[in-house]
A and B are shown apart, each in its own frame.
Chain A
């Protein structure tokens, strides 16, 4: 599974990064986490408001921090 975190390094992006890490650890899932910080690449995903979370190419959330429960559910779906 490929998880991408889109954000230019704002505090909210860091928080999202943390939550994703925690969720993966708790589930014991194997995933590749990539931080995308290039604005041009972020826009290519159709995302304008950061932070955003992309799982296997699908934008799951943009503009706000999802709860850890939501992140866990998305990862489970994919598993």
Chain B
């Protein structure tokens, strides 16, 4: 029995990791490293910290989330910083919600494991709910904010660009080498994908060597290596645990509580995601395993949304930084939003 469980874990490792390392994980890490190395996060944060109108700051916060943090651990100080430095409350909480829910590594991995429609759903929902989240936070704390904003500082001048033109091209090339093997080659042996990947990544590196200075390329690779060192062991461990859980959990139990697309299933899935800690990316194989055991698509989306952004230790950190009142409004809103999103997509779109 025990042996069977362990083997389950190992098989999961082989399925999820081995098949994805070359054509998915390597370019995904390169892309994440590139975003960190080539974009000026300081400049983005300055824009967000400025006293911008809601019409501008809401979408700006949502879009720039992609570039700022890759895992939930780094987003709390960033979001707290925007809030404390005079930025409005809404962008800070939008960032807190969207950055982990739609972070680039996890979305790409979701697309590869569960299917691209789930990845698209994840991004769209994260963005749409971000606006709701921002509005709720803005309306709930409007009065408090009006007093506080007086002390806030001006956003000031930005002379530094967010990203240089040739760096954008490099990031797009990495994105291409990430997507091309998986979407150009949908049939045939895995080796074909590797060929396509080899060609596109060679072009990427050739471009990098020709146009970008050596020390910046080196810096990019260094940042990439950090991600690999940080996330890869967690991913291996997470996937193994997911494999084991898949063997232990009774299928009937999952079908009963998480099957279908009812509000209750979505709510339970949201709660599982909100309470437990998922290292970046591990939520994808976890959800995939639960889906194979009978979880509905709606609840799956709900779990993907709440999983990476929220966990018990995370909640404590948010309470500590923003205070109990704001944190509670945020957490309750998040649970409601994820539940409704799961229910909505499950019943009307998937």
What CA separation (Å) do A47 and B78 show in the bound complex? 9
B76 on the A face (CB < 8 A): yes
What CA separation (Å) do A39 and B77 show in the bound complex? 6
In the complex with contacts A11-B230, A39-B80, A40-B321, A49-B41 CB distance below 8 A: yes
B84 on the A face (CB < 8 A): yes
Interfacial residues of chain B within 222-238, with CB under 8 A of chain A in the complex:
226, 229-230
Q: Which chain B residues lie closer than 8 Å to A10 at the CB level?
A: 73-74
Contact with B along A7-34 (1 / 0, CB 8 A): 0101110000000000000000000000
B337 on the A face (CB < 8 A): no
Cβ-closest chain A residue relative to B77: A39
Q: Which chain A residues lie closer than 8 Å to B320 at the CB level?
A: 39
Interfacial residues of chain B within 57-107, with CB under 8 A of chain A in the complex:
73-74, 76-78, 80-82, 84-85
A62 on the B face (CB < 8 A): yes
B45 on the A face (CB < 8 A): yes
B317 on the A face (CB < 8 A): yes
Cβ-closest chain A residue relative to B226: A12
Q: Is the CB of B85 within 8 A of A49?
A: no
Q: Is the CB of A48 within 8 A of B230?
A: no
Q: Is the CB of B45 within 8 A of A49?
A: yes
Q: Is the CB of B317 within 8 A of A39?
A: yes
Q: Is the CB of A48 within 8 A of B76?
A: no
Q: Is the CB of A47 within 8 A of B74?
A: no
Interfacial residues of chain A within 55-76, with CB under 8 A of chain B in the complex:
62-63
B42 on the A face (CB < 8 A): yes
In the complex with contacts A11-B229, A12-B226, A48-B78 CB distance below 8 A: yes
How many A-B pairs have beta carbons closer than 8 Å: the answer is 48
Q: Which chain B residues lie closer than 8 Å to A42 at the CB level?
A: 77
Q: Which chain A residues lie closer than 8 Å to B42 at the CB level?
A: 48-49, 62-63
What CA separation (Å) do A1 and B170 show in the bound complex? 42
What CA separation (Å) do A48 and B82 show in the bound complex? 8
What CA separation (Å) do A4 and B82 show in the bound complex? 22
Residue among B82, B84, B321 with the most chain A CB within 10 A? Answer: B84
CB < 8 Å: which of B41, B85, B229, B317 contacts A63? B41
Q: Which chain B residues lie closer than 8 Å to A46 at the CB level?
A: 85
**Least distance between B79 CB and chain A CB atoms (Å):** 9
In the complex with contacts A10-B73, A49-B45, A62-B42, A43-B229 CB distance below 8 A: no
**Least distance between B262 CB and chain A CB atoms (Å):** 39
Residue among A12, A40, A43, A47 with the most chain B CB within 10 A? Answer: A43
In the complex with contacts A8-B77, A43-B80, A48-B229 CB distance below 8 A: no
Q: Is the CB of B85 within 8 A of A48?
A: yes
What CA separation (Å) do A42 and B174 show in the bound complex? 34
Q: Which chain A residues lie closer than 8 Å to B77 at the CB level?
A: 8, 39, 42-43, 48-50
Cβ-closest chain B residue relative to A40: B321
Q: Which chain B residues lie closer than 8 Å to A8 at the CB level?
A: 73, 76-77
What CA separation (Å) do A46 and B156 show in the bound complex? 14
Contact with A along B29-49 (1 / 0, CB 8 A): 000000000000110010000
What CA separation (Å) do A56 and B76 show in the bound complex? 26
Q: Which chain A residues lie closer than 8 Å to B229 at the CB level?
A: 11
Give 3 nearest A-B pairs by CB, closest first. Answer: A48-B81, A43-B84, A43-B81
Q: Can you sample 10 A-B contacts with CB below 8 Å?
A: A10-B73, A10-B74, A12-B226, A40-B84, A43-B84, A43-B85, A48-B77, A48-B80, A49-B42, A62-B42
Starting from the known contacts A12-B226, A39-B320, A49-B81, 11 additional A-B residue pairs (CB-CB under 8 Å) come to A8-B77, A39-B76, A43-B77, A43-B80, A43-B85, A48-B45, A48-B82, A49-B45, A49-B77, A50-B77, A62-B42
